[in-house]
């Protein structure tokens, strides 16, 4: 499956597995009026809101069955971002042995630009480290500059291009790779 990052400056990802026990929360930011934010494992009761965020974020959104299937997998981190108790984003990362993929990272349009996508990505990467993942990959639309800035800020580096990877509209995907610190693998 492809990594998805919201077309309008959001980010995609999902977290589950061991991250279910590693819940991260953040409070208000420096008194700037940002509502209390938390990150926690996704649960079935969140699916309706996750689907709304997904549909607002992507031209080809995942369906409920895709999300349901990921809730119980041990090789998936599936997290949600909450603002004042309301789900406003989700992130998914899955892995096989030492390789992981950020598969989906989305933040509701009205909640973008406040650091929620970065918090979700950081939580996904923390879960990947805890699972023994050494390398994380993702694909993103070449036009999504907000996602490119986010991923670059976390150390992801370009690996290649997948021509005509996305549809609706048709677009190339940029493939990125991150070597997780302390993984023992030499950095490029």
Higher pLDDT, 20 or 44: 44
Domain hosting residue 109, numbered range: 4-29+40-174
User: How many domains would you assign to the chain?
Assistant: 1
121 phi/psi in degrees, rounded to 5: -60, -45
Beta strands in the chain (DSSP E): 4-5, 25-26, 37-41, 76-83, 86-96, 99-107, 135-141, 157-166, 171-179
Catalytic residue list: 139, 151
Q: Is residue 47 a part of any domain in this protein?
A: yes
User: How many residues are listed for the chain in this entry?
Assistant: 188
Residues 78-131 have pLDDT tens digits of 999 999 999 999 999 999 999 999 999 999 999 999 999 999 999 999 999 999
Q: Is residue 107 a part of any domain in this protein?
A: yes
Q: Is residue 186 a part of any domain in this protein?
A: no
Average pLDDT value over all residues in the chain: 84
Domain harbouring 143, CATH code: 3.40.630.30
Q: Is residue 187 a part of any domain in this protein?
A: no
Q: Is residue 104 a part of any domain in this protein?
A: yes
Q: Is residue 183 a part of any domain in this protein?
A: no
Task: Write down the pTM of the prediction.
Answer: 0.80
Q: Is residue 109 a part of any domain in this protein?
A: yes
Distance, in Å, from the CA atom of 129 to the CA atom of 164, rounded to the nearest integer, reads: 32
How far, CA to CA in Å, does 173 sit from each of 6, 79, 96, 135, 161? Answer: 13, 24, 22, 19, 6
- Residue 3's pLDDT band (boundaries 50, 70, 90)? low
Q: Is residue 179 a part of any domain in this protein?
A: no
């Amino acid at each position: 499956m492809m990594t998805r990052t919201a077309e309008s400056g959001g980010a995609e990802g999902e977290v589950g597995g061991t991250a279910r026990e590693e819940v991260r929360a953040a409070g208000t930011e420096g008194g700037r009026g940002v509502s209390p934010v938390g990150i926690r494992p996704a649960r079935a009761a969140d699916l309706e809101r996750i689907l709304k965020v997904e549909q607002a974020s992507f031209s080809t959104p995942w369906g409920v069955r895709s999300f349901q299937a990921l809730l119980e997998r041990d090789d998936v981190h599936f997290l949600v971002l909450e603002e004042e108790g309301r789900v406003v984003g989700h992130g998914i990362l899955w892995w096989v042995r030492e390789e992981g993929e950020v598969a989906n990272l989305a933040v509701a349009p009205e909640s973008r630009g406040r650091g929620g996508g970065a918090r979700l990505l950081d939580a996904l990467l923390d879960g990947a480290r805890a699972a023994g993942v050494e390398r994380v990959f993702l694909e993103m639309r070449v036009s999504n500059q907000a996602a490119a800035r986010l991923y670059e800020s976390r150390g992801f580096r370009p690996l290649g291009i997948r021509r005509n990877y996305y549809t609706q509209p048709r677009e190339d995907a940029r493939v990125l790779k991150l070597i997780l610190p302390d993984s023992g693998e030499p950095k490029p």
